[in-house]
Amino acid sequence: MTDCKKRQSARARKQRRCAKMEDCLIENQTVFYSKAEHYWKEVSPTVDGMLGGYGSISSIDINGSKKFLQKFLGEGQGKTGTGCALDCGAGIGRITKRLLLPLFRTVDLVDVTQEFLDKARTYLGEEAKRVENYFCCGLQDFQPQPERYDVIWIQWVIGHLTDDHLVEFLRRCRSGLRPDGLIVVKDNVAYEGVIPDDVDSSVCRDLNVLHRLVARAGLSIICEEQQQNFPEEIYQVHTLALR
């Protein structure tokens, strides 16, 4: 999983900006993924650790996500059910605990770091009994069960996937949705191009790049919003609902 992070300076953005993600990857994909895994193994399994030192924005983030998601949930034609959700890049279960478990009967978690998933079992408290699966797996390799999920929530993690792997993962997510299911992507957005981050081995894409990748996956954007009330020094964060 990635996290909310400070914007780079205009000079740094100009020096590092790429037209597509693969142009930013000097090393091979295996190294790109292994460096990210190593980075997260050194991160504290706390809310502050999950948010890159910005634990104070967690409630703002959750409240914005809940307002966004509740527009689609309910009964009737075209509405998304509340049976089962998947938390991608779940970490210790911050989003599962405060957003998904209050809205869905059951939740599955997937994250590349086993220590985070182990922590989630205690962090979630009594409600952990409604978590059916803890998958330790990188999203580039994860295969959602067909037609299992009403909502697949993907937050602050797509920057750890190459363009091709992100497209392939979104296609697999589409097959994992129940009728009228929804994929939600919430992530940092660059001003222009693709900005690499060598610290956690990730990238930040601009909206045009992200829109093209969503289209390649055969998905449509049915709603898009910018998260409000985040600190000015971090990247803008956008939420996209996909079907």
Reduced to 3 states (helix: H, G, I; strand: E, B; else coil), residue 28 is coil
Two tokens at 60?
Answer: 């703002």
Residues forming a β-bridge with 80: 73
Number of CB atoms found within 10 A of residue 91's CB:
31
Is 155 part of any known ligand binding site?
yes
Is 89 part of any known ligand binding site?
yes
Is 2 part of any known ligand binding site?
no
Give the residue from 80, 240, 71, 78 showing the smallest Cα distance to 151: 80
E-only strand ranges, 78-176: 84-88, 106-111, 131-136, 149-155
Q: Residue 131 in contact with residue 96, Cβ under 8 Å?
A: yes
Q: 224-236 burial, b for 16+ CB within 10 Å, e for fewer? A: eeebeebeeebbb
Two tokens at 211?
Answer: 């829109």
Is 139 part of any known ligand binding site?
yes
Is 228 part of any known ligand binding site?
no
Is 113 part of any known ligand binding site?
yes
Give the residue from 174, 26, 45 showing the smallest Cα distance to 117: 45
Q: Residue 192 in contact with residue 13, Cβ under 8 Å?
A: yes
Helix, strand, coil proportions of the chain in percent (round to 5)?
A: 40, 25, 35
Residues of each annotated binding site: 89, 94, 111-113, 139-140, 155
Residues of each annotated binding site for S-adenosyl-L-methionine: 89, 94, 111-113, 139-140, 155
